[in-house]
Amino acid sequence: MVHVLNELINKYQMHGMQLGEVALGAVLKDPRDYNLARDTVLSTQLDPKTPGIDIQRACATSLSTLVHVALKIKTGQIDCGIAGGVDSISQSPVSRSEQSERGTKLLLSNKAGKISQALHRLKNFPDFPTFVQVEECATGLSMGESMELTARKWKIHRDDQDKYAYASHQKALIGVRANFFDSIVPLNGLDHDDNVRESSQEKLAQLKTVFSHDQEATLTAGNSTALTDGAAAILVGTKDWAEKNNLPLIAKFKAFDESAIEFSKSEELLLGPAYSIPKLLLKNNLTLGDVDVYEIHEAFAAQTLCVMKALNDQNFLKNNEALEIFSPIESDKINTYGGSLAVGHPFAATGSRLILSLAKQLGHSTKKYGLASSCTAGGMAVSVLLESLH
């Protein structure tokens, strides 16, 4: 995260500048990073009087950090700030297993008897480290297991998921060749997302399912997003502040929505964007067709296909009192340069990547509105509406 912020500072010559806020987050945070944002600020070339705050909302973390900074700017509390997120899945925290915990308690309890007896019993409780499990406390299911249920409910077939995943990689490859991802900053010799690859639908079709193994299972490693390391940050400010500091203006933060659904009985854990997007459009008197570019987090190919199917379903919109926003979404408006399936998903950083992609597309075209949305654990979603400055 420090590296990304310093690159941002260098790019816009912000050395020694005091900002109104730096809001950052991480989903799998090491306990030593309890003050991530502030410690990051103090490790960069920003003025040390710049405050920092940690925010976490699962996969939409850096969308929520953006909302936080944008609201402080809109209410006149500050005139500039940075929003972002970071996660290192390769260094995710580990903990002791439940068996190990029970064994330790047994050893320390009066019931253990003699030390020799306690040590003998402890042999049955090996001290195995366990990695953090992304399971829902309400259901006990992982996201992949939950998504299998949603895909079946919405009748999203394996072939359609593989086609979508293949298309995501192909669109990302187009972006790579067009230098669309030029905002990536090199680190330790790596200067590109190495998850983007040439593949084929035939190869994807050969992969085994990973979250369920019955005949109806459809989710594979190929049509599910890869968990990767990454960090991303967005510089936000008022028009006056940007012009005063000779900084380029790319897009305008217009509005947002943060929603949650009851998913434990509906099998719709990751369908949050299908509820959040209509609410955001209703607030701004827009239809689905009024939005020129969509950046939707691809947790799974099935998840994005479910969201698209719901938004194009008039009965679904009517049941959620949002029929007036209906207008068929053209598929080429969604994730034009690929999505998380292609470039990976470093949890807390993904939201900033969505916003950056959206802003660049609005800034380099005649398109007016862009919308980013991400599902999250716990049946939530965050959606952000950007407007072109043209």
Read off φ and ψ for residue 96, nearest 5 degrees: -80, 150
Contacts of 334 (CB under 8 A, 6+ apart): 294, 296, 304, 308
Q: Give a yes or no: residue 138 inside a domain.
A: no
Which token pair is 189?
Answer: 């010799």
Same domain, 63 and 100: no
Residue of 80, 297, 306, 345 marked active site: 345
Q: Give a yes or no: residue 235 inside a domain.
A: yes
Cβ atoms of 108 and 351 within 8 Å: the answer is no
**One-letter amino acid identity for 152?**
R
CATH number at residue 71: 3.40.47.10
Can you say whether the dihedral through the CA atoms of 365, 367, 338, 184 is positive or negative? Answer: positive
Q: Give a yes or no: residue 191 inside a domain.
A: yes
List C-alpha distances in Å: 356 to 48, 128, 181, 313.
26, 41, 10, 29
Residue of 169, 297, 306, 375 marked active site: 375
Rounded Cα distance between 242 and 279, Å, is 31
Q: Residue 93: its pLDDT value, please?
A: 76
Same domain, 38 and 115: no
Q: Give a yes or no: residue 136 inside a domain.
A: no
Which token pair is 3?
Answer: 């590296």
Strands 251-260 and 80-87: unpaired
Same domain, 267 and 343: yes
Same domain, 234 and 361: no
Cβ atoms of 171 and 178 within 8 Å: the answer is no
Rounded Cα distance between 354 and 187, Å, is 21
Q: Give a yes or no: residue 150 inside a domain.
A: yes
Q: Give a yes or no: residue 40 inside a domain.
A: yes
Q: Give a yes or no: residue 137 inside a domain.
A: no
Contacts of 107 (CB under 8 A, 6+ apart): 118, 119, 121, 122
Same domain, 85 and 151: no
Same domain, 114 and 49: no
Residue of 3, 15, 59, 120 marked active site: 59
Last residue of a domain, one of 193, 213, 244: 244
Q: Residue 97: its pLDDT value, please?
A: 60
Per-run averaged pLDDT (10 residues), the chain, 390 residues: 98 98 96 96 99 98 99 99 96 68 56 59 56 81 97 98 98 97 93 91 97 96 96 99 97 98 92 99 98 99 98 98 96 97 98 98 95 98 97
Same domain, 156 and 287: yes
Q: Residue 364: its pLDDT value, please?
A: 87
Is 375 among the residues known to form the active site? yes
Q: Which residues of 71-95 are buried (b: 16+ CB within 10 A; e: fewer)?
A: ebbeeeebbbbbbbbbbbbeebeee
List C-alpha distances in Å: 233 to 69, 113, 205, 374.
12, 56, 36, 17
Same domain, 215 and 275: yes
Same domain, 345 and 294: yes
Can you say whether the dihedral through the CA atoms of 338, 344, 346, 347 is positive or negative? Answer: positive
Q: Residue 266: its pLDDT value, please?
A: 84
DSSP code of 211?
A: S
Q: Residue 160 class from Cβ within 10 Å (0-12 exposed, 13-18 middle, 19+ buried)?
A: middle
Same domain, 290 and 235: no
Q: Residue 147: its pLDDT value, please?
A: 98
* Residue 180, number of CB atoms within 10 A of its CB: 18
The pTM for the full model equals 0.91
Q: Give a yes or no: residue 80 inside a domain.
A: yes
Strands 230-237 and 80-87: antiparallel
Last residue of a domain, one of 103, 131, 159: 131
Last residue of a domain, one of 131, 160, 179: 131
Cβ atoms of 383 and 372 within 8 Å: the answer is yes
By C-alpha distance, which of 43, 27, 20, 22 is closest to 349?
27
Q: Residue 135: its pLDDT value, please?
A: 86
The domain tally of the chain equals: 3
Domain that holds residue 13: 2-91+230-244
* DSSP symbols for 110-175: GGG-SHHHHHHHHTTS---EEEPP-B-TTT--BHHHHHHHHHHHTT--HHHHHHHHHHHHHHHHHH
- Contacts of 183-190 with C-beta under 8 Å, sequence gap 24+, read 183/356, 183/360, 185/3, 185/4, 185/7, 187/3
Q: Residue 98: its pLDDT value, please?
A: 62
Helix (DSSP H) and strand (DSSP E) numbers for the chain: 14, 10
Same domain, 80 and 101: no
Same domain, 298 and 185: yes
